Amino acid sequence: MIRASDLGWRTRGKTILQGATLEIEKGEVLGLIGPNGSGKSTLLRMLAGLLKPSQGHVELAGQELARMNQREIARITAFVAQQADTSDRISVRDAVELGRTPWLDALRPWSEEDSRHVANALATVEMQGFETRDWITLSGGERQRVHIARALAQAPQVLLLDEPTNHLDIHHQLSIMRLIGRLGLTTIVALHDLNQAMSCDRLGVLHQGRLIALGSPAEILTPELLHCVFAVSATELIDPTDGTRVLRFRSMTQALPDMNRHDVS
Amino acid sequence: MTLVLTGARRVERGRQAMRWIGIATILVAAPLAGICIGETRIPLSTVLQVLANRLWDAGYAVDPIDEGIIWSYRLTRALVAGACGAALAVCGVILQSLLRNALADPYLLGISAGASTGAVLIAVAGLGAGMVPMSAGALLGALLAFGLVTLLAQLSGGGTGLRGTGQIILAGIAGSQLFNALTSFIIARSANAEQARGIMFWLLGNLSGVRWDDVWLALPAAAMVLLIGLWHIRALDAFTFGAESAASLGIPVRQVQAVLILAAAIATAVMVSIVGSIGFVGLVVPHAARFLVGVRHARLVPASALIGMVFLIAADILSRVMIPGQVLPIGVVTALVGAPVFALILIRGRASS
Ligand SMILES: Nc1ncnc2c1ncn2[C@@H]1O[C@H](COP(=O)(O)OP(=O)(O)OP(=O)(O)O)[C@@H](O)[C@H]1O
Ligand SMILES: [Mg+2]
């Protein structure tokens, strides 16, 4: 569905990202992990056609991304940015309706079908009942969910999500991750919570602008790699209720022996 | 169930019809009021008779002096005021949406400053040896200033585009300061007291010299920017969460920005060259319209055009009748009346939210 080869981006003589090569199958969920500033957002923005790669190229649904216009891309790919805010007094319904933009033009005005997409998207993120609320009155997590609804209203085949679960409470974090799995869309999602990352089909690890590992969560989330990339030491625990792996982390830069002892006891 | 539905639909259709009737009434009533009210009040019946004579050769017997005043002075004035108000308001909406800045206004891009420099060069410094009309100088000055401002914005790291829209505002401020200083310099060096007063009056906005050829410039310019704005209502909406979000919704951001900003610049330059710089309309009317109809551009663009039109025609009427026997610069009236009205809207908007 998406094929990126040797992607790189440099600005003002500084290399931000280089040599990223990856291929994502239809319906696959790829998680991107990596420390702050490692290039996750940069990679996602290039895959969304928002940033021209200074090296390499991207293929989306069999077409060269650089040759597609913005509208063609938007009909296939929906992008939820890490941050997007407005001071306009726009209502929730209006904000989600923006997702229909790539499907509308002067000859194809708003229709029942568009309303249906909007209602479904709002229901999917459990934001029914908020339709008439002003954007500025929403909490951070509610805003995030409206953004996701906007992306879903785009009826995309590919979903690019940049840290969709930050700002969300634990219930909605889990439900968004479950939703991503359930939608069956080709999804690339930048994440910080490594336990959430385990639910992805595959994981890519970015470190200092390089894609240093790509594989199944079990292959990727090893204590050695976590140590090397995130400078933490990780312990693997097994949840006795369902036998899934859980990671527990300790900082390596600041030893806190007292707390550790307390935790272990 | 179907009965209820058709009932609801009929109510909706009725409301729609009422809205159109209301808009049509305003479109006709505002210019008519502009024609009737003035130093000498002209009865509506006379006005209608003159219009009928001129438009359909109706052949009513009307005093030729009245006919002259109505047809050549008051009507042209009302039409230009309306076109100018509508155009400036729509330009304001466009710039505020694209630049994501509530303070953006058509004069911010150096346009009015450039226009005044051009006008002053012709009228005071004697450029063109009396062969070039002042409004042509203003138009050229406006476009030149806008070109310089865009160039500066580009040089300073991308005026528009996905991530930086702040630059063009800063460049506009710098350009405005430069051209305003040039204007003052030329006036201080070359103008006599009489000329200086005339220029001051023009700079504050002046509709008294407006004739039919100005109408044929103002109306197309207003129609152009209004139509381009209406054509792009979805794109303008898509900028709500910024240029990058607009791009991810399939909007060709650079192209849309170029077309819309250029259209706004040309319309503003034309208006400034005809009537001088009338501040406040482009900045405040869009905000007033947002309080009334919300932020979606399908309603905001036409509503702003309508409010801008009515506002400027009303300001023109006031400028003629506020002090008997004297005409105030219209820019003074728009600010004097507009600022308190806007303050009221702000307070009421807050109370209702
Ligand atoms: N326009 C730019 N100019 C200069 N540097 C940039 C630019 N955009 C991004 N960078 C730098 O590139 C690096 C990668 O940024 P990016 O936003 O991709 O990181 P990230 O992995 O998404 O981080 P986070 O987890 O904090 O969101 C950062 O060091 C950032 O400072
Ligand atoms: Mg990021």
Number of separate domains in chain A: 2
Give the domain range for residue A136. 2-221
Are A199 and A244 within one domain?
no
Is B309 in contact with B85 (CB distance < 8 Å)?
yes
Check if A52 contacts B (Cβ < 8 Å).
Answer: no
The interface predicted TM-score of the complex, written ipTM, equals 0.86
Residues in contact with ligand 1 by the CB-under-6-Å rule are A 11, 16, 34, 36-42, 82
Residues A182-199: tens digit of each pLDDT: 888 999 999 988 888 888
Q: How far is CA B4 from CA A112, B8, B11, B250, in A?
A: 18, 6, 10, 38
Residue A55 backbone phi and psi in degrees, to 5 = -160, 145
pLDDT at B162: 54
More confident: A108 or B7: A108
Residues A51-93: tens digit of each pLDDT: 899 999 899 988 999 899 999 999 999 999 988 888 888 999 9
Residue B302's pLDDT band, with cuts at 50, 70 and 90, is very high
Residue in this structure with the two tokens 């990679």, named with its chain if needed: A43
pLDDT at A32: 93
Which residue has the least CA distance to atom 17 on ligand 1?
Answer: A41
Answer whether residue B222 shows pLDDT above 90. yes
Give percent of chain B above pLDDT 70. Answer: 92
Check if B299 contacts A (Cβ < 8 Å).
Answer: no
Residue in this structure with the two tokens 């726009």, named with its chain if needed: A90
Residue B82's pLDDT band, with cuts at 50, 70 and 90, is very high
Are A145 and A257 within one domain?
no
Q: How far apart are CA A126 and CA A5, in angstroms?
A: 37
Mean pLDDT of B222-244: 94
Architecture of domain B19-352: Orthogonal Bundle (1.10)
Answer whether residue A152 shows pLDDT above 90. yes
Give percent of chain A above pLDDT 70. Answer: 95
pLDDT at B286: 92
CATH number of A59's domain: 3.40.50.300
pLDDT at B5: 53
Find residue A249's DSSP bridge partners: A234
Are A247 and A181 within one domain?
no
Burial grade of B56 (CB within 10 A; 0-12, 13-18, 19 or more):
exposed
The first and second tokens of residue A242, run together, are 């369902």
Handedness of CA B136, B280, B320, B191 (dihedral sign): negative
Compute the mean pLDDT over every residue in chain A, rounded to the nearest whole number: 87
Chain B residue numbers with beta carbons less than 8 Å from the beta carbon of A106 are 231
Answer whether residue B164 shows pLDDT above 60. no
The first and second tokens of residue B283, run together, are 């900045």
Q: How far is CA A118 from CA A98, A110, A137, A152, in A?
A: 9, 11, 20, 8
Residue B262's pLDDT band, with cuts at 50, 70 and 90, is confident
Check B162 against A50: CB less than 8 A apart: yes
Answer whether residue A259 shows pLDDT above 70. no
Are A214 and A226 within one domain?
no
Strands ordered across the beta sheet of A210-215:
A63-64, A55-60, A2-11, A14-24, A210-215, A202-207, A29-33, A186-190, A158-162, A77-80
Closest chain A residue by Cα to residue B240: A86
Atom of ligand 1 at shortest range from CA of A209: 14
User: Taking the model in full, what pTM does it have?
Assistant: 0.87
The three-class DSSP label of residue B267 is helix
pLDDT at A162: 93
pLDDT at B38: 81
CB-closest option in B102, B234, B241 to A84: B241
Are A123 and A139 within one domain?
yes
Chain A residue numbers with beta carbons less than 8 Å from the beta carbon of B164 are none
For chain B, domain boundaries: 19-352
Q: How far apart are CA A264 and CA A250, in angstroms?
A: 12
Instruction: Please give the angle made by the CA atoms of B201, B146 and B135, to the nearest 5 degrees.
Output: 40
Mean pLDDT of B283-301: 91
Burial grade of A160 (CB within 10 A; 0-12, 13-18, 19 or more):
buried
- Mind giving me the DSSP string for B76-97? HHHHHHHHHHHHHHHHHHHHHH
Check if B102 contacts A (Cβ < 8 Å).
Answer: yes
Torsion from C-alpha of B153, B159, B165, B169, nearest 10 degrees: 30
